[in-house]
Structure 1
């Protein structure tokens, strides 16, 4: 089974670079369309696998594995590496690969409405260190800091950790519907749930604060993008800006489908729909 899996990954890696439209997977087509739209090119692709579990039956079996993609991107005069890790499952019958699919992680539940924190005379001052936030995002994009909880849907928990590493202060403990915090093996809704995080950033007046901007070009490294994939008002993903491409557009890191230097729009994602809505948040200092 391992040999068949390795052959599959080698073939898939070739598809990302090839211009041949025959037998191309939908995921490859989405990626190629996005790069064509950006006037960028995938120069090279490699995919490594790590088997997570193996189940062998009398006539077949299945493997759960992690596929680590590395794309060498040429965009204008710039070259950079984009990375992504997918959880996948391969099925075999009588020694032949019969099916390979991405494992879709079920989305989180929308929590109760957040409580707004009242302004107080003794406000919390902080200076947001973007370099530290980005350094954290680069260090932990494909692993998990044991100092924090880990979630099946981990995107917002990861972004919160990045902001905290940049000096954003926690507030609201121990009320889960108030503020933004993670302490004593507990956390606020806004710390770990994408929808709550989006609404927290829109209205926070104490502790971590942000201003919404109208376009991705206005964002800087260390800023945040929130995603409503279906356009139904329920936000279900969060990313952090770590760099800009040759056109000044954000490249982001994220968890759940662990990603590094990914183009901000997520048009290559299986979760993408034409109804997608974004919120762009510029993190501000509180002096």
Structure 2
């Protein structure tokens, strides 16, 4: 194939890009002037390439991205499956909200998947998790409780991938690889048990790769456990909380940060129980973190 054609990068390893075109994968290098132009192709990119054979191609151009994530590095994502475990490690709304803000800011549709539901031991904790599930659903998020061991919830999760590019993200050790193995047993992805001593998992995924699944593509990504807000301004933060975004225009002051201003529609909604207190508390934490980051820079 000598003609220029358009394909999609599904894997990037050691300077080689693997481009999918018509169910065939071509190994390509980046064009020589990419480095000078500071162009770095990433998994998910639509690219123009040419190739004389499946192992000797060149990427000539990278098409404009509709969105991109830095950690993990991937572009043109339709939805992010945020995988959080009910236990081991324990479910963290603070970390989940941090992920949600990051995903919302990139214009990607989030789906919350809670794994290891079968490992919950106390009725009290079961009720606590169920209340969080209700709270996030009320905010408009899709929440899917699952168990990779018992396969509970697997039939609910399969349809969401149809025709979409989905990225899996979440803390290490929450069972992303186990979940993917349950969806696609042929992958046989490496999984590691949680270390009881550390209370967290080892990283089992080494690079980002798009995997065909039904009529969609799924990305497995390296686990990571922290996200900063370097690219988010203080006045932008509330727009990444859907329940706040819809009330911004009702605040008395334009540019309201919903912290110390009077006649704030967001604070009123918190007091009336329309916005969960824990979400507002996380918002204030994130707001303070952004202010401190700006001072440091």
Asked if TM exceeds 0.5, the reply is: no
TM-score norm. by structure 2 comes to: 0.24
Higher strand share: 1
TM-score norm. by structure 1 comes to: 0.25
